[in-house]
């Protein structure tokens, strides 16, 4: 029941975001100030606390996923590797945040080991189910637990957007799963000095 409510809320917020995106599509730089997101505190894959507002001045790419994801999450991480290759030395100014939607299984240690295999400047974040759910809702994301008849027990369907966050912690662009590395790198550069 709670998940269904989150899905409904997430879809409603997503429609609002798409409306804002359409309104701002004619802006010269393509960047907007989306009315979603906000500060949060979660546990990083190194076991330390991570608060978004403690990283003022940094450009971040944020997306939601989980380590048992069979397709979307590894594909997104591989595409982000290409984004960093296109950014070259400018990529040092950008950090990727991977927030798990599966905190019951994705411990900081598991996140660390999983993300290390992608050779990216990516920080895994987790927390309690309540903490993570609150962050997902704040960013107009959604997920739904799907029971499986296998050893994996369940999987998660989830939103596939990635968010570009500026140095003030504001969401300035929302990338769809279909946006390629060239487009992502082009938009990210607009926030770099």
pTM of the model: 0.84
Quick check: 33 pLDDT over 70? yes
Mean pLDDT over 140-150 rounds to 87
pLDDT, one tens digit per residue, over 54-112 is 999 999 999 999 999 989 999 999 999 999 999 999 999 999 999 999 999 999 999 99
| Angle at alpha carbon of residue 105, lines to 17 and 112, rounded to 5° | 85
Q: Would you say residue 24 has pLDDT above 70? A: no
Query: Is pLDDT of 25 > 90?
Result: no
Q: What mean pLDDT comes out for the span 150-157?
A: 81
pLDDT-derived band at 150 (thresholds 50, 70, 90) equals: confident
- pLDDT for the residue numbered 1: 47
Per the structure block, which two tokens stand in for 103? 């905190």
Domains, the chain, with CATH or none: 2-189 (3.40.30.10)
- What are the tokens at 49? 């606390």
What per-residue confidence (pLDDT) applies to 56?
A: 93
pLDDT at 26 (0 to 100): 40
**Lowest mean pLDDT across 1-5, 9-13, 63-67:** 1-5
SS3 (DSSP) at 126 = strand
DSSP states along 11-61: HHHHHHHHHHHHHHTTSSS-----S-----EEEETTSSEEEGGGGTT-EEE
pLDDT surpassing 80 at residue 23: no
Mean pLDDT of 173-186: 94
Return the DSSP state at 90: G
Compare 24 and 176 and report the one with higher pLDDT. 176
pLDDT bin (cut points 50, 70, 90) of residue 156 is confident
In angstroms, rounded to a whole number, what is the distance separating the alpha carbons of residues 157 and 160? 9
Question: In the predicted model, is pLDDT for residue 27 greater than 90?
Answer: no
CA–CA separation, 26 and 156 (whole Å):
35
Q: Which of 128, 139, 152 is nearest to 64 (CA)?
A: 139
């Amino acid at each position: 029941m709670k998940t269904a409510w989150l899905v409904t809320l997430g879809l409603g917020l997503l429609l609002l975001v798409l409306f804002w995106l359409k309104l701002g599509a004619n802006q010269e730089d393509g960047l907007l100030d989306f009315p979603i997101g906000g500060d949060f505190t979660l546990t990083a894959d190194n076991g330390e606390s991570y608060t978004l507002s403690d990283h003022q001045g940094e450009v971040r790419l944020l997306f939601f996923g989980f380590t048992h994801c069979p397709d979307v999450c590894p594909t997104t991480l591989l595409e982000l590797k290409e984004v960093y290759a296109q950014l070259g030395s400018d990529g040092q100014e950008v950090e990727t945040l991977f927030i798990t939607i599966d905190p019951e299984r994705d411990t900081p240690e598991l996140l660390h080991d999983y993300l290390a295999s992608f050779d990216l400047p990516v920080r895994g974040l987790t927390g309690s189910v309540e903490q993570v759910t609150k962050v997902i809702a704040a960013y107009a994301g959604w997920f739904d637990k799907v029971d499986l008849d296998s050893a994996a027990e369940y999987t998660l369907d989830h939103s596939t957007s990635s968010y570009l966050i500026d140095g003030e912690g504001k969401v300035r662009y929302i990338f769809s799963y279909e946006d390629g590395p060239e487009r992502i790198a082009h938009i990210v550069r607009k926030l770099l000095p």
